A and B are shown apart, each in its own frame.
Chain A
Amino acid sequence: MSAETAGPETLGSLSDEPQQDPNSQQAKEISGKSPLRIALGRLARDKIAVVCAVVVLFFVICAMFAGTISDLFGVSLETPLASERVDGLNNGLPKPEMGPPVGPFTWEHPMGVAPRTGEDNLAYWLHGCRVSLLIAFTATLIASVVGVVIGLLAGFLGGAVDKVLSFFIDMFLTIPFLLAALTLAPILNERFNTSPDYPTIQKFSLVMVLAMFGWMGTARLIRGEVLALREREFVQAARVMGMPTSRILFKELLPNLAAPIIISVSLMLPAFVALEAGLAYLGIGVTDGVSWGQTILKAATPTYFREYPQYLWQPLLGIVALVLSLNLLGDAVRDALDPKTRR
């Protein structure tokens, strides 16, 4: 008589799906849906999220294949001779053959060339995108790892460990970021500017500075989450079965922290892209190399803005589009992860 008694209780109510026979083909396919997969499905139904994801993907492709795309267009970072491209008598604006603003559009330089130096704008834009994303991604990665580990340890171990780590979190939060960056820049500059690897060192130290002042938010978020998770009975079940602490931290707790980790990443990425450009503009970020911020710094003069506004708009548009779509995508991801805002 057991077969007929198998009602919905027996089959388990699948949260999103209608009731069905667990042995049917369809049921086999939907079985094993993790909460994260459900969130991903929700995200795919969000139109804004999809558009933003496409935009972000576009920038990622530009960054990853900056060299190849430049070659495809026949442009490069190298400038043979500035005087061949710019007209020194006309404020250093490009010659008419170089395309707008003086001449008509040309495929030789699809985005025109820079005034005074004659550098190709497309090549600089693509490589600026690469630098921007590279720095933002690495800084986010480092800040997340540091933040997650510190948050996990502080939240789970508690006691003295928590006190010490929380003190460091608060200490770093009190240091004004810009002040620290402004102080560090000349020190690093003095120490390394004779080195042949100066551009690399500069990028590396920029990543470090960004990460150093970015991990606290993640650590706080994770710590709070772990404090709540620690009291859940599945952690106690793990203890009762004798699971070592490291395994509890990384196998039991970490998978439950996917949501806060994704949230803090989604907040850090756009912030770091904007910060990288801002610091370059202030002359304390990437000064010795290619960067959107550097281009903006050069373009933001009254003469060029009047005569050649595209020069400023190009990097600015890149930053705005990237930061905006990263932010909107982040919002959508946060919504999708939060079951309370389920639509």
Chain B
Amino acid sequence: MTQDPNARAEVEPTAVGANAAEAGERRLGDDVSDAYGSHEVNVGDLDFHIVAEHGHTASELDPDAPAVLTVDNLKMYFPVKSSGVVRRTIGHVQAVDGISFEVPKGGSLGLVGESGCGKSTTGRLITRLYKPTGGSMMFDGKDLAKLSNREMKPLRRDVQMIFQDPYTSLNPRHTVGTIVGAPLEVHNVVPKDKVLPRVQELLEIVGLNPEHYNRYPNEFSGGQRQRIGIARALTLNPKVLVADEPVSALDVSIQAQVINLLQDIQSEFDVAFLFIAHDLAIVRHFCPEIAVMYLGKIVEIGDRETIYSHPHHPYTQALLSAVPDVKQAAVGGRRERIRLEGDVPSPINPPSGCRFRTRCQFAQEICAKVEPPLLQIGKRHKVACHFAGELGAHPATPVTTELLGVDDQGSPVPGATPSNTQLTIPGYEKTWYDLRTKQTTGV
């Protein structure tokens, strides 16, 4: 907390800051903090990145942390019914189609992708708002995918969720005390007279005035409401928190404060986060590990440095080109923006082979014929693309042919045996497939 509020004059003339001010995204003045108590620094009218970097260093990756949640080949197909009296199932929305990942204990995994790619569905599967069509979700030695609702109930204490819209996630007819205390009553964990002290303690933790427990949600601002939602999620001391775009409904200046709060909570209570966001800017400071989703599949997953500095998937590269970069903006440079042509195809009838091929500028015949496997190509880096490579250095021939036993056009080579053995494990192998040598290498 060494920042002097007056210092903000020095950071103002960045291109990003100026644009944001024009767009009216930020509130000017000294009252941007929505926190009560001494949690927050008064940050004045700074923009998101500066606030986020302010006092809170980006979360670090602990490569040896055990996985608290292991998701393997998770699938969710929603039936599509015909209209009319006899409603037959005429197809399926393949909202989530075979995704695998691990959330490390006390760590946080970012899940990023355009809207409609299945992020929320993934979050709702983990919190078992939906029962998955297939796959497994191992938590604490149990498979959440197979449990009945009754068996699930005790585990619900450990897996909680923070919702996207602070205006619909709180019951408007309940007081803050009732909302935050409800989990305690549902699980009968403390006697009735101990509920209020716990509620007040939680309100204090999330930076709200503990005396406001008898107020209704309509008396709070968006940022404060989101803090109430966070308090509710923390009530039962969860081990895993799914945060579904927790700041995308908030004012830019408030976003960073809420992210900082989540970061404090994570370090203080050792909660593991699955942090869902629709762009890469938000997860940057929060998630040491990031998965990029497209149309129900993970197309690239890796640690932060790899995803931001050496993305290998054309889709990740396109997403990243849309993220304003403060440091580059300050020196007057800007990444070339890659525009994605066309719309996201329907998840009811996704494209064959690689699902991104309808919008990919590198797509070739093989992409339509064979689905690219999610291949580990680095110590903590997996990518699903036949032509995986850094921007401007995509290989001319597919890198996956030997593994899949196909030729450059994607037709099977007679007699070739696919040597691919390491495709679907949720975590990382000790060895990986090196793109340059086309050999399996290790440390």
Interface residues of A (CB under 8 A from B): 1-2, 4-10, 12-15, 22-23, 31-36, 232-234, 236-244, 247, 252, 255-256, 258
Contacts and interface: CB of A to CB of B under 8 A. Distances in A.
Contacts of A10: 31, 33-36, 209
A234 B224 contact: no
Contact of A256 (B33, B171, B183, B218): B171
B40 interface: yes
Interface stretch (B52-60, B95-103, B158-166): B158-166
B236 interface: yes
A5 B229 CA distance: 23
Nearest to B242: A240
A240 B120 CA distance: 14
Given A233-B169, A237-B169, A6 B164 contact: no
A23 B33 CA distance: 19
B48 to A, nearest CB: 17
Contact of A2 (B34, B40, B161): B40
A35 B212 contact: no
A9 B32 contact: yes
B8 interface: no
A51 B34 CA distance: 44
B221 to A, nearest CB: 5
Contact of B156 (A1, A22, A242): A242
A241 B216 contact: no
Interface centre among B36, B157, B173, B209 (most CB of A within 10 A): B173
B232 interface: yes
Given A12-B221, A22-B211, A31-B212, A240 B129 contact: yes
A215 to B, nearest CB: 24
B393 interface: no
B265 interface: no
A256 B31 CA distance: 33
Contacts of A234: 168-171
Given A9-B224, A12-B215, A35 B173 contact: yes
A22 B232 CA distance: 23
A177 B170 CA distance: 42
Interface of B: 1, 29-42, 124, 127, 129, 152-153, 156-157, 159-161, 163-165, 168-175, 182-183, 186-187, 209, 211-212, 214-216, 218-221, 223-224, 229, 232, 236, 254
B33 A252 contact: no
Contacts of B33: 5, 7, 9-10
A2 B183 contact: no
Contact of B221 (A2, A6, A9, A34): A9
B391 to A, nearest CB: 38
A9 to B, nearest CB: 4
Contact of A232 (B127, B129, B168): B168
B76 to A, nearest CB: 15
A256 B172 contact: yes
Contact of A35 (B30, B41, B216): B216
B31 A236 contact: no
Contacts of A35: 172-173, 216, 218
Given A10-B33, A22-B209, A240-B160, A31 B218 contact: no
B31 A8 contact: yes
Contacts of A241: 156, 160, 182-183, 186-187, 232, 236
Contacts of B161: 236-237, 240
Contact of B171 (A1, A8, A31, A252): A252
Contacts of A32: 175, 214-216
A242 B168 CA distance: 19
